[in-house]
Structure 1
């Protein structure tokens, strides 16, 4: 294989390092030249008409710097930029796949929507363990409330602005600005102000001074599934299960088991002794014990098979 052929068949993604080395990745994508309008049109038509994957790769790679730029706008949510870029790249690939060169717009304008949509979805799924935004109004508030609070509070410290509660007037201003209900603003403000709480105590907590973890008082032991199954099993064994096992015994064995284990005297004491039953049947106490052992073994097999 000649060098020219090797370069032609080389994976175009191999010129970009992995996101594991974020600085090197950003430097590499910044060095990839942007396409001219006529080049972009030609590549988009090759992809649309011929399903040319090399054309798709060139379109994607020439816009990787756009994803990096957009990802910087979402650094305030505590998520790694590498993850944001990765999700944005997914949106970019979706945009390239759906791009129509005959619409009269550049790919950069079309791709911005798809890149932001993927990053938005990733942030909403991962910013908190419990989703904070599910409806359209909540999503709009989630991605705009922080910036609007900055506008209303002035150039204050970001952490302070994030904690500062909105006044009633500010709530109505945000609602009017985003065309949502004031109640939606209050609810989102409350959700974003709250933090995640671990259900279980952390391993490095001081056991003498650590706060009680929610799992200690949220657990419902009465309706815990395993306990309920065990309780149902015990109830069956003590009722229908024992009755079924007894039915498989001969009359003498069943009588001995009932007298020994199931009968309770009026004074609360246990059932008959081996000697009592030996006298009743005219055999030795050892024989009664042997019959009892064999009967219990047979019953155990029946109960284990049920």
Structure 2
């Protein structure tokens, strides 16, 4: 990563830039998924995040001793935030055919009647051929309003700003994309090292270890002893020796 970044910074190596971008695309997906609570297409969120990633790659300084993923997350989120601000509304007022039909009629009715009672709701529902539940839902939607994506600076208390700001709670704060990606990379690397370490064992040791530790249905020592024609104690010794070899091979 550092060498590719230096090639890009010092020689404007576009191939190095492409490799840096391609190697971090999965990270963009992790970030974008934490914004799906807005109801916007995931593909669009990812596309905007990719724009942020490319901007980050262009501005990344490898001499600052930080990983690109830590630097890029701010650029990726900034682009996604801009997209959400341009396209997001908490409630799409009329989404079904019945709601669209009701929308225009109910707006005029509310101007005349204000907040309607049960009799008025039933009369309007009958006139328009919809249920009273649909009328009540639309009435509630028309009485609502959009709220700011970011905390309102004029709010008196920090608690009020945090509570009413979608930016404060619609992003999943419990799943830091950088940590998620790092954990997945570690798990993938550990799995690869496990497979390589297993290949270093002899066939019998590998078979015993896999069946005792990796299979769903684990045979007992006595079952394996009968199969291999040795004592259960001998199977235990082989298993113990194989585990030690496996651990040594994995940390080598």
State the TM-score, normalized to the length of structure 1. Answer: 0.33
Q: Which structure's CA Rg is the greater one?
A: 1
State the TM-score, normalized to the length of structure 2. Answer: 0.39
